[in-house]
Chains A and B, each alone.
Chain A
Amino acid sequence: MAFAGLAHAAPTVTPPAAEQRVLLARTNLFSSVPQQFHAMLFVSWSDGLRPLRVEMWRGGRDRMLARVLGPRQAGRFLLQVGAEHYLVAPGARQPVKLGAGVAAAGPVSFEQLLGVDVERDFETERVEAGERMVTFHLVARAGSAVARATPRARWVVDRIRRQPVRLDIVLADGRTSRVVEFASFADPRTLVPAKLILKDVLRGGPPMTVELERFEPMAVPDGLFSLTDGAVRAQLPPAPPAP
Chain B
Amino acid sequence: MTAPPVFDARGLSKRFHMGQATVEALRGVDLQVSAGEVLVVAGPSGSGKSTLLHLLGTLDEPDAGALTIDGTPASSMGEAERTAFRRIRLGFVFQTFNLLPVLSAQENVELPLWLAGVSSGERRRRAHEALAEVGLGARRGHRPDQLSGGERQRVAIARALVHRPLAVLADEPTGNLDSGTAAEVMELLMSLNRAHGTVFVIATHDAALIARAPRRVALHDGRVASDERKASA
Direct contact, A vs B (beta carbon within 8 Å): no
| Residue ranges of A at the interface with B (Cβ–Cβ < 8 Å) | none
Residues of B within 8 A of A (CB): none
